Amino acid sequence: MTDYLDFQADFANAEVAETFDDLSYWSSMFGQLLFRHLPLAPRLTCLDVGCGTGFPLLELADRLGPTCTIHGIDSWDHAVERCRLKARVRGNTNVQVAHGNAAKMPYDDSFFDLIVSNLGMNNFDEPAAVMAECRRVCKPGGRIALTTNLVGHMSEFYRLYEQTLIDTGNADRVAQLQQHQAHRATIEGLHDLFSGAGLEVTDHHTDTFSLRYADGSAFLRAYLSRVGFLDGWMSVLRGTGREARVFEDLEARLNRKSREREEGLCLSIPAAYVEGRRP
């Protein structure tokens, strides 16, 4: 059964934002990398770009304490409302959240001491424009830090997907799959993103996390997979009418692979933390 192929996330539905915290395990892996290296100090004015429903914004507010002011901005209106509610319930009076476009933010020039983005830059339509805007609103000497997943993300899955395309007579779609994979960030590309905005890269770190599932059926039906990745996976086959056949075969291969190892299906997630400074 490939019932998961019919899933569509309706981000205009407020209930999606109400339950979006189900993705926090994914975000928290990168958040741990962020807080492992992020410079923390009192009396800072900070910004979380792409704050979603409040992570890492609210955690950052706790880590920095009441002498700091923490702003967040996101284009998803329901998520902004959810974040505001959480800040109010938690008593984070030093948090302010705005609904807006990260490529055209409603802040004055040189306003922030510290800007963070956890898994944000790889989801923006115009990352270079967002980074340039971050530079504009960052104070001279201020810091900009981001985390992201890298090329090689879920390589175990993509290798099986590619072989499935070949074996099911869809070898002509392999190039599209490879192109889809290539849109992930690289360390070199992240350095270029910073330098292109006139920022000096001052620190970077990489790590590799693991996502484990009982088998391929669990992985393909997981909410994270359906909300975050399924549309991209299916785009490789769009217009062919072969999605169900290919994914049925792919699911069977993933299940066989999971039975080969005691830990089930284990997927590698290479990650990066990059920090820059506005001269």
Segments making up each domain of the chain, as ranges? 3-277
What is d(CA 254, CA 220) in angstroms, rounded to the nearest whole number? Answer: 9
DSSP secondary structure letter of residue 44: -
Residue 22 is predicted with a pLDDT of: 53
Q: Which amino acid is at 26?
A: W
Does domain 3-277 sit in CATH 3.40.50.150? yes
Q: Which amino acid is at 249?
A: D
279 residues of the chain, pLDDT tens digit each: 788 898 887 878 877 777 667 557 899 999 999 999 999 999 999 999 999 999 999 999 999 999 999 999 999 999 999 999 999 988 899 999 999 999 999 999 999 999 999 999 888 989 999 999 999 999 999 999 999 999 999 999 999 999 999 999 999 999 999 999 998 999 999 999 999 999 999 999 999 999 999 999 999 999 999 999 999 999 999 999 999 999 999 999 999 999 998 889 999 999 999 999 999
pLDDT tens for each residue of 27-76: 999 999 999 999 999 999 999 999 999 999 999 999 999 999 999 999 99
Per-position b or e across 23-48, b if 16+ CB within 10 A of its CB: beebbbbbbebbbeebeeeeebbbbb
Residue 210 buriedness (CB in 10 A; 0-12 / 13-18 / 19+): exposed
Residue 104 is predicted with a pLDDT of: 97
